[in-house]
Amino acid sequence: MSAPEQLDLHFQEVPGVIAAYVLDTGDGLAVVDVGPASTLPALEAGLTALGASLSDVRHVLLTHIHLDHAGATGTVLDRSPRARAYVHERGAAHLSRPERLMASAGQIYGDQMERLWGEMRPTHPERLRVLSGDETLRLGGLEVRPLYTPGHAVHHLAYHVGDDLFVGDVGGIRLDARQTPRAPTPPPDIDLPAWRRSVQTLRGIDARRLHLAHFGGYAQTQAHWDGLLARMEQDAERVRAGLEAGEALEAVTGRFTDELWTELRAEGADLPDRYGFACPPWMSVQGLARYWQRAAVRSSAARDSG
């Protein structure tokens, strides 16, 4: 198998923020995460540079259905009549009926929706291959193993193809080799124990290369996963400590952001600006705050039942 091709989707005209990956199956192309509709021109340009076009796409492998990775799926399938999309069973309904997903995103992004994400067209259910994880797919000459890897999202999948492991967001944000991987933790599905279990699963996969949605390819090493887990625990503890001290979420967010930017600048002066496009700090704080609030409710319910 030829090596995967990485396409930079130039989100908001910024390089090195969101990636798509292209595989030649021998029977058309497979694309891992097509990005939002707002970056569709960059996806098309990347395919053109490979001597291909959207009409050559047969398989859209989605790690999860968040807008920055799956928003263009319906449009891509409309323009690729022979293609189908692969998605976890807990995310499939949002592709077929994206209204609820878009309405939820609209509450966050308001009048910036079109600029950031563009249109999310529905995908006909007959063009979806719904997965649970741990199946074996035969795509042309490729054997592809979807792996259920929740933590960032309840519907998250990674894909193992030979020496390559496409880890979506559960592999963390790592914008270049200088940076320690960090967990993107937006609401509503953050589940830290599930994320740890997913990392344990991925550590054990016999693959040489990790391909991250944010952003690029890195060697599959224990150091990558150790760094991701260490930063995830650190970030979660910062939010927990602030909430337990009774601080307002705005104050927690301000301190979290300052500490994040300081740590990123120590690894590369350009990293904070790019990181802010990959996952704004306020989103990570909101996701972790929601996680800790739900954990407190579960703990209280357990005490009451005991």
Q: What are phi and psi of 71, to 5 degrees?
A: -60, -30
> Token digits for 58?
């047969």
Taking the C-alpha atoms of residue 141 and residue 134, their distance in angstroms, rounded to an integer, is 19
Taking the C-alpha atoms of residue 162 and residue 167, their distance in angstroms, rounded to an integer, is 14
Of the candidates 195, 182, 181, 120, the residue with the CA atom closest to the CA atom of residue 153: 195
Q: How far is the CA of 107 from the CAs of 46, 104, 180, 199, in angstroms? A: 32, 5, 32, 31
**Domains observed in the chain:** 5-229 (3.60.15.10), 238-305 (no CATH)
Taking the C-alpha atoms of residue 47 and residue 54, their distance in angstroms, rounded to an integer, is 7
Q: Token match 């690729």: residue? A: 80
Taking the C-alpha atoms of residue 185 and residue 30, their distance in angstroms, rounded to an integer, is 28
> Token digits for 102?
């878009």
Taking the C-alpha atoms of residue 3 and residue 52, their distance in angstroms, rounded to an integer, is 16
What's the distance, CA 37 to chain centroid? 16
| Residue 122 identity (one-letter amino acid) | P
Q: What are phi and psi of 160, to 5 degrees?
A: -105, 120
Q: What is the pLDDT along the chain (306 residues), one digit of tens a residue?
A: 478 999 999 999 999 999 999 999 999 999 999 999 999 999 999 999 999 999 999 999 999 999 999 999 999 999 999 999 999 999 999 999 988 888 888 877 888 888 889 898 999 999 999 999 989 999 999 999 999 999 999 999 999 999 999 999 999 999 999 999 999 999 989 999 999 999 999 999 999 999 999 999 999 999 999 999 999 999 999 999 999 999 999 999 999 999 999 999 999 999 999 999 999 999 999 999 999 999 887 766 556 665
List 143's β-bridge partners, or say none. Answer: 138
Taking the C-alpha atoms of residue 2 and residue 140, their distance in angstroms, rounded to an integer, is 13
